[in-house]
Chain A
């Protein structure tokens, strides 16, 4: 039962990150999110929003925990969480990453990638079997875009005015603004057969109401 070197290489390829446990996100975890959600870029949703994900997509809302103890006291911390969902019809049946966020002490060790990969792995299997996985990222968030590109995502289209707020809804797509626009980034699953990949995705512009499913 000892593992061979060949297997070891496989390990090395697959596991390049963390010492973390993945567990289902529970409603009471919302009481423990300060170290993650006080971050200025992390959204704090209303109860209904979190609960909709818990009830509709229970297996796609999970968290990473750092398990530990000190002086006999349990010191387990939430290090990040993933909120995902499935939506769309036919070719557009896909997985959507709604939120993925990491406690600052556990950044830059590949944890966000780990959560994304797990969501991808879960929804690539039954019963989900989606065609692609997508997310929205602010057009000026180069750090996040680099991360997603490394994970195999590419820009599918630019959503003009996505982060502009309800009072700044654009009338057309002629003028772009990196601070207000989002990139819809997608990664194709095997059954998508490349339909979600565009080499010139940045040039395809749509308005926010065109990205609802």
Chain B
């Protein structure tokens, strides 16, 4: 980059667009035909807000694209920043059509990877395929990728596999498993199943098959209903390859049944987890009663933690009453881990057979008794090892919350969990439940403390941060926590893209499809979009323009990928969501929150909006809904001057929803939403001098300021006192609580945790005073 160009980009960076424009005009004068400076000029226009002009001057470049990469890359960036995403995708395609140079093709191919867009990858690699064998492989593979897209057109589904197959055949002889993989995937798409076994076996030459190809081979024999070969190869995999694989066992059983051969003896002769479960599988295939096989399995492995998930898969085919009666005849005392796990498993089967048990106090008492009998084993376990007895505690919590999802039961649960985690600090389920329960009662700092102990890193941020970062702007507005969470999406843009390019270069084809999907899922992650919105809101409530500008540059997607793992909370006990799921996760919104808040942002930024009739607002809290309604009414009033809307707006100011009287995340959410709304309206009104008559403007400003002041002066103070009183009352209500006493948790310990809850609420209020 020349020093002049540097100067221009510095001026853009500093926001001195006029200066940048002048500098650019000078270089353009000297180089009137230089496409880069022409695009740069449009880029400056776009940056300075002259979007219409920028668009008008840039679109002709799509018709007559320049040939230098710098201009093309800047043009892509320009269209992206203008929100013209379709146009940005057209830039390289049109340039490649016109100029057909290798540099443009290759950059277009890499652009496709950067966008995780397999259609671009396919087009670009087809353009290069005659230049090398590797590019041919890319072209063939990307034909498979496009045809395998969930939204592939009929033409893509039918023509592309044929095109891909023709292309891969030009690469023969194929050199390794990865190349064979491309061919068999294309054969699957073109219906050439018959050919697949030969292709795979021709390559294997007596060596062990590649795992991926072996799975495809067995699957193909199954689809072809070639039972002899299915039997032969599942036998080879199990015996010669020593690969003790459940799916292969199932194929072995299926093929032997189809061939009318005996298999019971094989299964009976082995005393293994495999053989016991294979017997269950055989019972299922032959429509036989499973009870005896289940008993046989449990006698063998009932003291292992895997017993419950293993048997659960067959539970709907088992006579559960008969099984529970048998389990009752098999008492095990909790003298060691084996006895403990047996009892945990029995409890799980009972609860699975009758989920209504969760709503009974008897169930709680039974689990308390078992916990008290098992906790002595905690002292003999290694600190980092998993303790199965904790499942009794989680059953107690789940039961309490099933009986009544009340603040009292949430707090009782927290007290129990805190007392357990002291003894078993590495049990992550206990922590996750604590984090979620603390979040519900406005204890962000306490939830954060537990979250930090889990040492969440890298991809984990995308699948777990919903428990800590959801609605951060109203729970504990700060950019530091958000930045840590958002980092994974920046890594995705660099690391994933880099390795996806390497994946193509190295020909790691059986991994590439999911690598590209991974990149896309992170890029469009629901949490990423949620965090961008939180960043904008945090910037607004903290009056920090730098934060706003940082997040304003980021794109909020229309379609999102929900990668969040909620199942991990339920991956204890019976491994099922329970009746109180929605109440438990009430503070964690989904996709509709993003859609609504995107409109919210557009209104604040004076963009045109359209609100569809079916807009889903179910993810909004009471105060968020009030805020959204107020803001959309204001937007419509400014556009239409409809006086009915003005009346509605004034009514909204007088009908601000009440804040919860109990401990709740909706307290902070409510207060900060009011503050953010009034601040936003203040800004809208001050930009609307010409659009609203003076009297109306003055009335609205007054109503707005008065609500802002009232919230700052009175509401926060009152709420703090309310919480103090609530904690005092809870301390006395929970004195000598029966469940806590049975678990040997004394009043002192209970009071200490209530004080922690009060302090954490105070921390949440403290931040409100700074806004």
Among residues of B, the one whose C-beta sits closest to the C-beta of A2 is: B262
Contact check, B515 vs A51: say whether CB atoms are below 8 A apart: yes
* Nearest 6 Cβ contacts at the A-B interface: A68-B313, A51-B499, A27-B518, A26-B514, A104-B386, A48-B495
| Binary contact readout B312-334 vs A (1 if CB under 8 angstroms, 0 otherwise) | 11011000000000000000000
A106-141 at interface with B (beta carbon < 8 Å)? 106-109, 114, 117-118, 121-122, 125-127
Task: Please tell me if the beta carbons of A31 and B462 are within 8 angstroms of each other in the complex.
Answer: yes
Q: Are A11 and B277 in contact (CB under 8 A)?
A: no
Given known contacts A17-B274, A70-B313, A31 and B458 CB-to-CB distance under 8 angstroms: no
Q: Is A45 an interface residue (CB 8 A)?
A: yes
When the two chains form their complex, are residues A8 and B266 in contact, meaning their CB atoms are under 8 A apart? Answer: yes
Q: How far is the CB of A191 from chain B (nearest CB, A)?
A: 16
A68's nearest neighbour on chain B, judged by CB, is B313
The chain B residues found within 8 Å of chain A, CB to CB, are 176-178, 207-208, 210-212, 215, 231, 238-239, 241-249, 259, 261-262, 265-266, 269-275, 277-278, 301, 304-306, 308-310, 312-313, 315-316, 382, 384, 386, 426, 428, 454-460, 462-464, 488, 491-492, 495-496, 498-500, 502-503, 506, 508, 510-511, 514-515, 517-518, 521, 563, 565, 568, 571, 575-576
Indicate whether A211 reaches chain B with its CB closer than 8 angstroms. no
A193 contacts partner chain B, Cβ-Cβ < 8 Å: no
Q: Which of A15, A24, A122 contacts B208 (CB 8 A)?
A: A122
Residues A32-52 near B (CB distance < 8 A): 32-35, 37-41, 44-48, 51-52
A5 CA / B270 CA spacing, docked (Å): 11
Contacting residues, chain A, for B500 (C-beta < 8 A) = 51
Q: Within the complex, which residue of B247, B275, B310 is in contact with A21, where a contact is CB–CB below 8 Å?
A: B247
Given contacts A12-B271, A19-B274, A31-B463, contact A105 B239 (CB under 8 A): no
A108: chain B residues within 8 A (beta carbon): 304-305
B243 touches A28 (CB 8 A): no
**A10 within 8 A of partner (CB):** yes
Distance of A7 Cα from B235 Cα, bound (Å): 11
For B492, give its contact among A39, A47, A126 (CB under 8 Å). Answer: A47
Whether B211 pairs with A59 at a CB distance below 8 angstroms is yes
User: Size band of the A side of the interface?
Assistant: 35 or more
| A69-B313 in contact (CB<8A) | yes
**Roughly how many angstroms separate A64 CA and B768 CA in the complex, as a whole number?**
49
**Contact flag A59-B177 (CB < 8 Å), given A3-B266, A27-B517:** yes
Contacts of A32 in B (CB 8 A): 565
B457 to chain A, nearest CB (A): 4
A67 in contact (CB, < 8 A): yes
Q: Which of A7, A21, A44, A55 contacts B508 (CB 8 A)?
A: A55
Residues of B within 8 A of A70 (CB): 312-313, 315-316, 576
Q: Which residue of A lies closest to B513 (CB)?
A: A26
Per DSSP, chain B at the interface is: helix
- Establish whether residues B272 and A28, one from each chain, have CB atoms under 8 Å apart when the complex forms: no
Do A55 and B565 touch across chains, with their CB atoms under 8 A apart?
no
Q: In whole Å, how far is A116's beta carbon from the nearest beta carbon of chain B?
A: 12
CA of A77 to CA of B246, assembled, Å = 13
A117-B458 Cα distance, complex, nearest whole Å: 29
B273: A residues at CB distance < 8 A: 17-19, 109
Residues of B within 8 A of A23 (CB): 211, 215
- Chain A positions within 8 Å of B454 at CB level: 38
Given A23-B211, A34-B463, A54-B515, the answer on whether A17 and B244 have CB atoms closer than 8 Å is yes
Select one of A44, A67, A68 contacting B459, CB under 8 A. Answer: A44
A17, A51, A106, A143: which contacts B496 (Cβ < 8 A)? Answer: A51
Residues of B with C-beta under 8 A to A24:
211-212, 510-511
Residue of B460, B502, B571 near A37 (CB, 8 A) is B460
CB distance B312 to A28 under 8 Å?
Answer: no
- A56 an interface residue at 8 Å Cβ cutoff? yes
Check A19 against B177 for contact (C-beta < 8 Å). no
Give the number of residue pairs across the A-B interface with Cβ within 8 Å.
Answer: 216
A82 vs B325: C-alpha distance when bound (angstroms): 40
Query: Contacts of B315 on A, CB cut-off 8 Å?
Result: 70
In the bound assembly, the distance between CA atoms of A19 and B245 in angstroms comes to: 7
**Beta-carbon contact of B462 and A75 below 8 Å:** no
**B143: shortest Cβ distance to chain A, in Å?**
20
Which residue in A15, A67, A126, A143 is a CB contact (below 8 Å) of B274?
A15
Q: Which residues of B contact A20 (CB under 8 A)?
A: 244-246
11 pairs across A/B with beta carbons < 8 Å? A1-B261, A11-B238, A17-B244, A28-B517, A39-B386, A46-B491, A47-B488, A51-B500, A51-B502, A66-B310, A70-B316
Task: Using A33-B459, A35-B571 as known contacts, list a sample of 20 further A-B pairs with CB atoms less than 8 Å apart, ordered by residue number in A.
Answer: A8-B270, A11-B269, A17-B272, A19-B278, A21-B245, A22-B211, A26-B511, A27-B518, A31-B462, A32-B565, A38-B568, A44-B460, A47-B458, A47-B492, A47-B495, A55-B506, A67-B247, A70-B313, A75-B312, A121-B208
Chain B contacts of A183 at CB under 8 A?
none
A30 within 8 Å of B (CB atoms): yes
Instruction: Establish whether residues B312 and A46, one from each chain, have CB atoms under 8 Å apart when the complex forms.
Output: no
Q: Are B261 and A114 in contact (CB under 8 A)?
A: no
| Distance (whole angstroms) from the CB of B341 to the closest CB of chain A | 10
| B510, A58: Cβ atoms closer than 8 Å | yes
Interface centre among A32, A58, A62, A66 (most CB of B within 10 A): A58
- Distance to closest chain B CB from A155 (angstroms): 21
Judge whether A71 is part of the interface by a CB distance below 8 angstroms: yes
Q: Are A2 and B521 within 8 A (Cβ)?
A: no
How far is it, in angstroms, between the C-alpha of A109 and the C-alpha of B273 when the chains are bound?
8
Complexed CA–CA distance, A12 and B265 (Å): 13
| A89 touches B (CB below 8 Å) | no
In the assembly, what is the distance between CA of A55 and CA of B764, in Å? 46
Taken together as a complex, chains A and B put the C-alpha atoms of A168 and B434 apart, in Å, by: 35
Question: Cβ of B515 and Cβ of A2 under 8 Å apart?
Answer: no
Q: How far is the CB of A189 from chain B (nearest CB, A)?
A: 14
Kindly list chain A residues whose C-beta atoms are within 8 Å of the C-beta of B508.
54-56, 58
Asked if A104 and B492 make an inter-chain contact with CB atoms under 8 angstroms apart, the answer reads no
Contact of A11 with B208 at beta-carbon distance under 8 Å, contacts A21-B246, A55-B511, A58-B511 already known:
no
- A16 part of interface (Cβ distance < 8 Å): yes
A212 located at the interface, meaning its Cβ lies under 8 Å from any Cβ of chain B in the complex: no
B178 & A58 in contact (Cβ 8 Å cutoff)? yes
Of chain B, the residue at the smallest CB distance from A25 is B511
Q: Which residues of chain A are within 8 angstroms of B384 by Cβ–Cβ distance?
A: 40-41
Contact A114 B270 (CB under 8 A): no
Asked if A90 is an interface residue, CB under 8 A from chain B, the answer is: no
Say if the beta carbon of A14 comes within 8 Å of chain B: yes
Nearest residue (CB) in A for B205 is: A126
A31 and B521 alpha carbons, distance in the complex (Å)? 10
Whether A30 pairs with B309 at a CB distance below 8 angstroms is: no
Complex contacts, A143 vs chain B, CB 8 Å = 382
Give residues of chain A (91-112) contacting chain B, Cβ–Cβ below 8 Å. 104-109
CB neighbours of B511 from chain A (8 A) = 24, 26-27, 54-55, 58
Tell me which residues across on chain A come within 8 A of B517, comparing CB atoms.
Answer: 27-28
Contact bitstring A74-87, B, C-beta under 8 A = 1, else 0: 01010000000000
Interchain CB contact under 8 A, A5 and B458: no
Q: Which residues of B contact A58 (CB under 8 A)?
A: 178, 508, 510-511
Instruction: Chain A residues near B309: list those with CB within 8 A.
Output: 66, 68, 75, 77, 105
Q: Does B306 contact A46, Cβ atoms closer than 8 Å?
A: no
Contact between A11 and B243, CB atoms less than 8 A apart: no
Contact of A34 among B249, B460, B495, B514 (CB under 8 A): B460
**Is B231 a contact of A5 with CB atoms below 8 Å?**
no
Of all chain A residues, the one with the shortest Cβ separation from B256 is A1
Chain B residues, CB < 8 A from A68: 309-310, 312-313
**B residues less than 8 Å from A56 (CB atoms):** 506, 508
Whether A54 lies near B215 (C-beta < 8 A) is no
Residues of B contacting A127 with CB < 8 Å? 176
- Please, which residues of chain A bring their CB within 8 A of the CB of B456? 44
